[in-house]
Structure 1
Amino acid sequence: MYILIGGAGMMGLDLARTLLHMGHTIAVIDTDPIACQYARQKIGVMAFEGSAVNTTVLLEAGIRKCNAFIAALREDALNLAIVTLSKHYGVPQIMVRMSDRDFEEPYQLAGATHIIGTLELAISRIVNAIEYPQVDAMMHFEQGQVEVVKLSIPQLCAIVGLTVAEIAQNPQFPTGTLIIGYQAHPHEDLIVPNGSTILEGGSTILVVTKPSLVRQMLDFMGLCA
């Protein structure tokens, strides 16, 4: 994919580096010549010096042919202008960094396909780390109605040696909770387990559940702090 990133700050450059390593073609747009030089020389992506809301710069950067545009500037008003212009030029995927939640509806009306509230995301990660220190990662879906939880299984965990089917059939396992991913060892691929998959100590699992059931699920597995 050809991806444009508006803004070569810390977030924009980290995105560029990550997406480049994933095999995408990346270009950043920024008014700072030093940031653009860093993007070219240190990261190895294209960089266009100028405003990401300047149509001349956008056309030079190839907005008409890009598959996705990421608006990663600090100012929501400028990001809103990027979203509007990207929609005008027919960009299929428009992702935006939102600092002020008051901009959520304007971003939706302007045509953003993905809105990432950076402040809310940071707060959520911190709260989860405090509330569930034994959880490696937690993602919210459908406005927080569903959680996907990543867990490392210790050698002495209560579920070690059990199959996914045995766990699911246990009456103490929260109803509606599903184990959807399994990685036996860090160097192995993540797989979608079936009922006969045996959970080993030192493995990693992905579990989908309701927010109200996370504590019960951790307690069942013997992972509660």
Structure 2
Amino acid sequence: MRVLIAGAGRAGLSVAVHLATMGHEVTIVDRDDAIATSAFERHGLVSLVGDATDAGLLKEAEVGRADVVVAMLRRDADNLAVALLAQAAGAKRVMVRMRDPDYRSVYVRAGVHRILSEIDVFIGAMATAIEHPGVRHAMVLGTGESVAFELDIPVDAMVAGRTVSVVAGSRGFPASCVFAGLYRPDGRVEAPRGSSIVAGGATVLLVAARDELAEVIAFFLRRDPASGGITSAAERR
């Protein structure tokens, strides 16, 4: 993909370098000559120096040919300007990093719907970590009603050694919970199937309603060796 990133601060440059290593064609625009020079010399990125809100400079960067334009400037007003110019030039997709939540409705009215809010992500992850110590990494989804999170499964957990289908059909399995991934010891992430095993000592990636998070965690961490494990719906019949 052709990706144009306006604003090559720490976050913008990190995104640019990552995308370049994945084989995408990345161009950055930044008003700081030192940053642009370093991005070219150290990472081989195509770099333009100047104001990304300048229509002429964006034209020089071939914004109209971009598959994705990402506005990551320091001010939302500037990101909005970049987004509008990119849309007018014919860029296929436009994304913005939102700093001030008051701008969300402004972006939406301007036709920008891919809005990334670092504040929302940070607050959601931090609040989840504080409220639920068992959660490793978490990300709030959508309007904040759902959370994607990683959870380590104890070796002696009641779900350990069971298949995904058995666990999901068990008594007490929270209705909002969905298996999103299974991490294996070698670091691979497996897309969960009904026959996939939830191994003790492994990590699972789950999605659940925020108000059911405590219930979900308690279900997966439950230890009761004497019970003989969890009971599936089929076994209850």
Q: CA offsets per residue over residues 23-65 of structure 1, 9 Å max, x none?
A: 2111110111000011111222110001101112111111011
One-letter amino acid of the structure 2 residue matched with residue 11 of structure 1:
A
In structure 2, stretches of 5+ residues that fail to align are 224-237
Question: Are 2:95 and 1:103 equivalent residues in the alignment?
Answer: no
One-letter amino acid of the structure 1 residue matched with residue 198 of structure 2:
L
Question: Are 2:210 and 1:217 equivalent residues in the alignment?
Answer: no
In structure 1, stretches of 5+ residues that fail to align are none
Distance 2:137 2:146 in 1: 14
Please identify runs of 4+ aligned residues in structure 1 that moved more than 3 A: none
Kept after mapping to 2: 8 A contact 1:134/1:223: no
Kept after mapping to 1: 8 A contact 2:125/2:140: no
The equivalent of 1:11 in structure 2 is: 11
Q: How much does 1:71 deviate? A: 0.5
Kept after mapping to 1: 8 A contact 2:164/2:197: yes
Q: CA RMSD in A?
A: 1.8
The equivalent of 1:124 in structure 2 is: 124
Aligned length: 223
* Structure of greater Rg: 2
One-letter amino acid of the structure 2 residue matched with residue 165 of structure 1:
S
Q: How much does 1:155 deviate? A: 2.8
CA spacing shift, 1:193–1:152, aligned 2, 3 Å: same
Distance 1:180 1:124 in 2: 19
| TM-score, scaled relative to structure 1 | 0.92
Question: Are 2:201 and 1:208 equivalent residues in the alignment?
Answer: no
Distance 1:43 1:133 in 2: 38
The equivalent of 1:87 in structure 2 is: 87
One-letter amino acid of the structure 2 residue matched with residue 14 of structure 1:
S
Q: How much does 1:87 deviate? A: 1.0
Distance 1:17 1:178 in 2: 33
Kept after mapping to 2: 8 A contact 1:184/1:199: no
Kept after mapping to 2: 8 A contact 1:184/1:202: no
The equivalent of 2:60 in structure 1 is: 60
Moved more, 149-158 or 19-28: 149-158
